[in-house]
A and B are shown apart, each in its own frame.
Chain A
Amino acid sequence: ETGVTQTPRHLVMGMTNKKSLKCEQHLGHNAMYWYKQSAKKPLELMFVYSLEERVENNSVPSRFSPECPNSSHLFLHLHTLQPEDSALYLCASSQGGKYTEAFFGQGTRLTVV
């Protein structure tokens, strides 16, 4: 148990569906991240929120829309995804943005059919 909880753990969705991934951290951290882990590829940073403001968006398609309503919660809204978006989506949090170790959730395994 890392203090970062992601729901759901597994999600299967059609290409026309709208769904959301949720992340919650109980560590009092002030930065939260979304990562994508595709098979045989490096972990890819998607979005960074620091103090509830988005500070980084790594050229992620607009069909992925993050939301950070407060420092403990992070959402990833999904809309009209493609099969190649199937991957493990990991949320992480850290205290500060530098010289700190991020704590990861267990991830949501997303399959787009």
Chain B
Amino acid sequence: DQQVKQNSPSLSVQEGRISILNCDYTNSMFDYFLWYKKYPAEGPTFLISISSIKDKNEDGRFTVFLNKSAKHLSLHIVPSQPGDSAVYFCAAEGAQKLVFGQGTRLTINP
């Protein structure tokens, strides 16, 4: 039973455009959501998070949106840069659990 799902295994976006990565969850106990970025041969690094009491959190080029009724969150990167090419994991925390999605590989094309 996969509680956190990233249905797109890969996404390709042109440099300068907006990248939108999506994540769905099933467990209503989750109340804190995080995005991690992972380069090859490195561990995931924390990118941005959002609490369930908010519906938007912005940090520079990165914005996370949370739709609690749909149990859906998304990460927007604008403008996309070549260095943003990586695998992005969403994660959900609640009831002393931290559950990750399977990741989306983002490729930014020049």
Contact = CB atoms under 8 A, between A and B. Distances in A.
Nearest to A105: B43
B2 interface: yes
Nearest to B102: A42
Interface residues of A, number: 25
Given A98-B32, A99-B32, A101-B49, A90 B100 contact: no
A90 B46 CA distance: 14
A33 B100 CA distance: 13
Interface of B is mostly: strand
Contacts, number: 56
B43 A4 contact: yes
Interface string A46-58: 0010000001100
Interface residues of B, number: 25
Interface of A: 2, 4, 6, 33, 35, 40-43, 45, 48, 55-56, 90, 92, 97-99, 101-107
8 contacts: A43-B89, A43-B100, A56-B97, A98-B96, A101-B34, A102-B46, A102-B98, A107-B42
